[in-house]
Amino acid sequence: MNASSKPKLSFGEYLPKIVVAPTFVATLIFIYGFMLWNAWLSFSSSRMLPKYDWVGLKQYERLFANDRWWVAAENLLIFGVLFIVTCLVIGLFLAIFLDQKVRAEGAIRTIYLYPMALSFIVTGTAWKWILNPELGIQRMFREMGWESFSFDWLVNSDMAIYTVVIAGVWQSSGFVMALCLAGLRGVDENIVKAARVDGASMPAIYRRIIIPGLGPVFFSALIVLTHIAIKSFDLIVALTGGGPGYATDVPATFMYTYAFTRGQIGVGSAASMMMLMAVVAIIVPYLYSELREKKQ
Amino acid sequence: MSLNRILIYGVLTLAAMFYLLPLLVMVITSLKDLEEIRNGTMLTLPQSLNFTAWDKAWSTACTGVSCEGLKGYFWNSVLIVVPAVLVSTILGALNGYVLTKWRFRGSNLFFGLLLIGTMIPFQVILLPMARTLGFLGIAGTTWGLILVHIIYGLAFTTLFFRNYYISVPSELVNAARIDGAGFWMIFYRIILPISTPILVVSIIWQFTQIWNDFLFGVVYSSGDYQPITVALNNLVNTSTGVKEYNVDMAAAIIAALPTLFVYIVAGKYFVRGLTAGAVKG
Amino acid sequence: MKLSKIGLGIALALGLSMSAQAAEVEVLHYWTSGGEAKSVAELKKMLEAKGHTWKDFAVAGGGGESAMTVLKSRVVSGNPPAAAQIKGPSIQEWGEEGVLANIDGVATKEGWDKLLPKVVSDVMKHDGKYVAVPVNVHRVNWMWANPEVFKKADATVPTTWDEFFVAADKIKAAGMTAVAHGGQPWQDATTFESVVLGTQGPVFYNKAFVELDPKSLDSAQMVEALETFRKIKQYTDEGAPGRDWNLATSMIIKGEAGMQFMGDWAKGEFTAAGKKPGVDYICAAAPGTSKGFTFNIDSFVMFDLDNKDLAAGQNDLASTVLSPEFQEVFNLNKGSIPARLGSSMEKFDDCAKLSSKDFVESAKFDTLVPSMAHGMSTFSSTQGAIYDTVTEFYNNDKVTAKDAAAKMAKAVASATADL
């Protein structure tokens, strides 16, 4: 099935390559070239503006001795795991509920999906209000007469990162719901019917047959969610600005702060190298599975 | 109604309320005057429909020295988004076509490299890209910004089309090839006509990404060519004076209207196409 | 042929309409709202009266953080704006990179050395040459108080930190919020530096925040200041974290809270609400700092553009900024005092007059100190390191003052170390 196995004109043979060439060149320069550039800066003494000297691993030493960096790394771990798991669980359950032949399914689906359309530049202020104890949910419940109601996560150093998870889930879980819903629609109804005839209950059928069949869906969702989690930047900036203190800092905001507002490009570059390595560690298994599929 | 149905609708309604809450807060607030905002809670309904805040956000709010609202910036964004979406989608479709139907040695590797490219944090590329744009002589121009959006959108569009086309039977293409159809002919006659779902996905995705972008917009545009998100940021980030929450919220909704519109109108196709591309891939 | 002739005609017409000296001056600033935006519009008008075009380049957010990102990208792309809002030691950092324009010509002609106090002109120069022009002088160590609240709580406006806690207790007992605070790192730092100056005095302040002496940063005095600082937290309300400063000020205006520690830009909020100084609100130096003056100077830096017309535009911009007319208009709007010596204070209110008097006197007694919180005393990297420890300490009760002081010394050392 390979193109090269057929005889053809030389121009025709090169045409596909010519077509992808611009993308190929752009990728090499604007992604890998820039990564290398960034790697170089992480070994330089760059402060305010890029400088092309060599100081070895000193910026990395500085980074690892920085408490804030470890808070940021830990936050990404907490946020990433909770965000991904919650999105998957909520997405799956909403899809299952929505798949019960409910009325107005289209409208409900749109409601669940619309947060994807909005950036946190747009919704940030509203979210800050909702989560702020003196303006939002807490005040509302208290004015409704529930005096002891308390919801102050946004302003609590230990809990603030969870409010970031809430807003993140709000934005992305609808997308997972849509993926799962499509997956559910693809399940062979005959298998389900047969299982019912055999006397299996609906929950059991979901647990034993349908959900395991959604493997590929979960996998796609996982990749997309991981990518969103690692890149999360607007979300943090709009919601908490990294605060209280720097309790909700993540690597992306850390890198930005050091490279751009604090004139420590070297440390910022070292931080982004660590992020890139984490990305590679996550994506290589995916690539491996992709390529293995090709060989089959 | 059975207990089961009540449970189902109950859960679905609760979830809908959660998803709608921020938008509801924004809409309600944008329709109140400042006095009402101060005295009520965030979900207290406005006493009357008051669109002055919307009017101000659109045409008279200050975003720097000029006080002409968001309207000019809205069109800036349109001018940036349209070419960037079109070019990145067309290139993505061609890339996907080549990567699935005209594979060459190393095409898998190329795809892998591209995939990693989707994961690069954009903060990393701000400075080298600025340097490159300066070198090309298009720093601070709309063209420069469009170019940046095209480049960093390509990985996604290629991914979409590649995952979609991979499920198109290769026999179709091979048969056409034996009949003497060339590269472009096959793309035009066979591939393109079946691409509508994924075209919709790619366009919606790119449109949303580019319209909502702030980071590239603020760094690579200047002065009168800034996109709407940058103007929104300037308008909302008041450090002095009375904070006009109603105007802020109205401005935010105005900035979000095009993407909201696209999702509401074309959301169905988006879901359909995305599953075709993402699940089977 | 005809077309090219028309083209030539247009080109000529365009060329003629721009006089030899006129230039399009692009100015990057982060004053996008309220009185500040109005003041910038004033500057634009004055510059255009001199025949130049103003190209507005406004980037708001985070006290200029977004603007700095944009500026860096523009400089790296080889396409910097003509002027940008940069202040304090950062001017030196940019100067070191060799990208700033020398405006000594206009400075000598107008005699800036005589027009500016030495503390101000020192900041504006790099390598002995003027590269920047000051817009104003802010005093940071103010305390804003609502006399109504004090009356209701039967408390007196404090002048020392001991008195402060007595007054705060009374206000709290009367069921009001004693301190209106916005829990953002820069606001935490603003309050903290006033505590340091008020409890430990200007000599210690300079040693710690200007000289960055490790023994002062990690000292019993710093521990004491940190502990006093954290004690303030119990007098703030639940909504404080993340709150914008102007919302905290409006708590004072509305009588919900008694005191706020904030620079003199807060005055604009009171003025906008129609309040009178001394009647509806009180401006007093932060406890224990009545003789001290923490300064914060906004300034415009000129970039080297290698273009004669633009250089003329930059000189005219600089000269306009320092003109008595602009200094007066701008500072009346902004709440600060003119940087230019001998400016008439007639139109200013009592708070500004007091500020102006204290500015001159504190300079004589060496109690005039640069604001750490506003990037006047150190490079941004060091400032960031101090911010981190201060805000972490304030927000996290598990960190002891002793640990925080040690951490501060360590973080500052790491940020300043040469590689």
Domains of chain B: 3-50 (no CATH), 71-278 (1.10.3720.10)
In this prediction the ipTM stands at: 0.86
Same domain flag for A38 and A64: no
Same fold, C20-138+296-354 and C140-294+371-416: yes
Helix H or strand E encompassing C390: helix C380-395
A199 and A153 in one domain? Answer: yes
Evaluate whether residue A55 is within a structural domain: no
CATH code for position A141: 1.10.3720.10
**Does residue A69 belong to any structural domain of this protein?**
yes
Q: Which of B240, B242, B244, B245 to mutate to test the interface with C (most CBs of C within 10 A)?
A: B240
pLDDT above 90 covers what percent of chain C? 65
Share the mean pLDDT of chain B: 87
pLDDT per position as a tens digit, C266-310: 888 888 788 999 899 999 999 999 999 999 999 999 999 888 888
- Do residues A22 and A99 both lie within one domain? no
| Residues in chain C with pLDDT values less than 70 | 1-21, 33-35, 62-63
pLDDT in tens, A152-166: 888 888 889 999 999
Residue C240, φ and ψ in degrees, nearest 5:
-60, -45
Question: What does the pLDDT look like over B74-110, one tens digit per residue?
Answer: 999 999 999 999 999 999 999 999 999 998 888 888 8
Q: Rounded to whole angstroms, how far apart are CA atoms C194 and C390?
A: 13
- The DSSP secondary-structure symbol of C304 reads P
Residues of chain A with pLDDT under 70: 1-12, 290-296
Beta-carbon contacts of residue C15 (< 8 Å; ≥ 6 apart) = none
CB contact under 8 A, C185 and A62: no
pLDDT digits (tens, 9 = 90+) for C308-331: 888 999 999 999 999 999 999 888
- Flag whether pLDDT at B281 surpasses 70: no
A49 falls within a domain: no
- Tell me the per-residue pLDDT of C125-160, one tens digit each, with 9 for 90 and over: 999 999 999 999 999 999 999 999 999 999 999 999
Give me the amino acid identity at B79. Answer: L
Residues A19 and A127 in one domain: no
pLDDT band at B1 (very low <50, low <70, confident <90, very high): low
CB A134 to CB C237 under 8 A?
A: yes
pLDDT given for residue B93 in this prediction: 96
pLDDT-based confidence at residue B23 (cuts at 50, 70, 90)? very high
User: What secondary structure, in 3-state letters, does chain A show?
Assistant: CCHHHCCCCHHHHHHHHHHHHHHHHHHHHHHHHHHHHHHHHHCCCCCCCCCCCCCCCHHHHHHHCCHHHHHHHHHHHHHHHHHHHHHHHHHHHHHHHHCCCCCCHHHHHHHHHHHHHCCHHHHHHHHHHHHCCCCCHHHHHHHCCCCCCCCCHHHCCCCHHHHHHHHHHHHHHHHHHHHHHHHHHCCCHHHHHHHHHCCCCHHHHHHHHHHHHCHHHHHHHHHHHHHHHHHCCHHHHHHCCCCCCCCCCCHHHHHHHHHHHCCCHHHHHHHHHHHHHHHHHHHHHHHHHHHHHHHC
Write out chain A residues lying below 8 Å of C411, CB-based: 66
Question: Both A98 and A9 in a single domain?
Answer: no
pLDDT at A187: 81
pLDDT on residue C200: 95
Closest-CA residue of C relative to B241 is C34
Q: Which of C258, C267, C285, C249 is nearest to C179 (CA)?
A: C258
Q: What is the pLDDT of residue B270?
A: 78
Which one of C242, C380, C381 has the shortest CB-CB distance to A240? C242
Looking at the domain assignment, is residue A64 inside a domain?
A: yes
* Residue span of the structural domain in which A226 resides: 60-295
- Give the closest of B41, B110, B124 to A34, CB-based: B124
Q: What is the pLDDT of residues B200-243, one digit of tens each?
A: 989 999 999 999 999 899 889 877 889 999 989 888 876 556 67
Number of other residues whose CB lies within 10 A of the CB of residue A295: 6
Q: Going by C-beta distance under 8 Å and a sequence separation of 6 or more, which residues neighbour residue A287? A: B112, B115, B116
pLDDT of residue A292: 65
Give CA–CA dist C231/B231, Å, rounded: 40
- Has residue A96 been placed in a domain? yes
pLDDT reported for residue A238: 84
A116 to chain B, closest Cα gap in Å: 8
Among B62, B133, B140, beta carbon nearest to C33:
B62
C270 touches chain B (CB under 8 A): no
What pLDDT is attached to residue C15?
41
| Whole-number pLDDT of residue C59 | 86
Residue C320 to residue A135: CA distance in whole angstroms: 44
Which residues touch B144 (CB under 8 Å, ≥6 apart)?
A: B133, B136, B138, B220, B221
Which partners does chain B have (≥3 C-beta pairs < 8 Å)? A, C
- Return residues 107-136 of B near C (CB < 8 Å): 126-127, 130-131, 133-135
C20-138+296-354 CATH fold: D-Maltodextrin-Binding Protein; domain 2 (3.40.190)
Q: What is the pLDDT of residue B45?
A: 85
A176 in Cβ contact with A87 (< 8 Å): yes
Q: Is B243 on the interface with A (CB under 8 A)?
A: no
Give residue B275's pLDDT band: very low, low, confident or very high (50, 70, 90): low
CA distance between the termini of chain A: 14
Q: Tokens 């086309």 belong to which residue?
A: B165
Closest in B65, B234, B240 to C34, CB measured: B240
CATH architecture of C140-294+371-416: 3-Layer(aba) Sandwich (3.40)
The DSSP output letter for C277 is B
Same domain, A3 and A70: no
Q: Is C344 helix (H, G, I), strand (E, B) or coil?
A: coil
Our count of domains for chain A comes to: 2
Predicted pLDDT of residue A1: 42
- Domain shared by A31 and A69, yes or no: no
Please indicate whether, in this complex, the C-beta atoms of B223 and C73 are within 8 angstroms of each other.
no
Q: What residue ranges do the domains of chain C occupy? A: 20-138+296-354, 140-294+371-416
List CB contacts (< 8 A) between A241 and chain C: 62, 184, 242
CB contact under 8 A, B208 and A116: yes
Are residues A73 and A28 located together in one domain of the fold? no
| Contact between C236 and C177 (Cβ < 8 Å) | yes
Question: Looking at residue A296, what is its pLDDT?
Answer: 43
Do the domain assignments include residue A219? Answer: yes
What pLDDT does B242 receive? 67
The verdict on residue A54 lying in a domain is no
Contact (CB<8Å) C384/A261: yes
**Structure tokens given for A134:** 């003196």
Q: Which of A125, A272, A287 sits opposite B124 (nearest CB)?
A: A272
B46 DSSP assignment? P
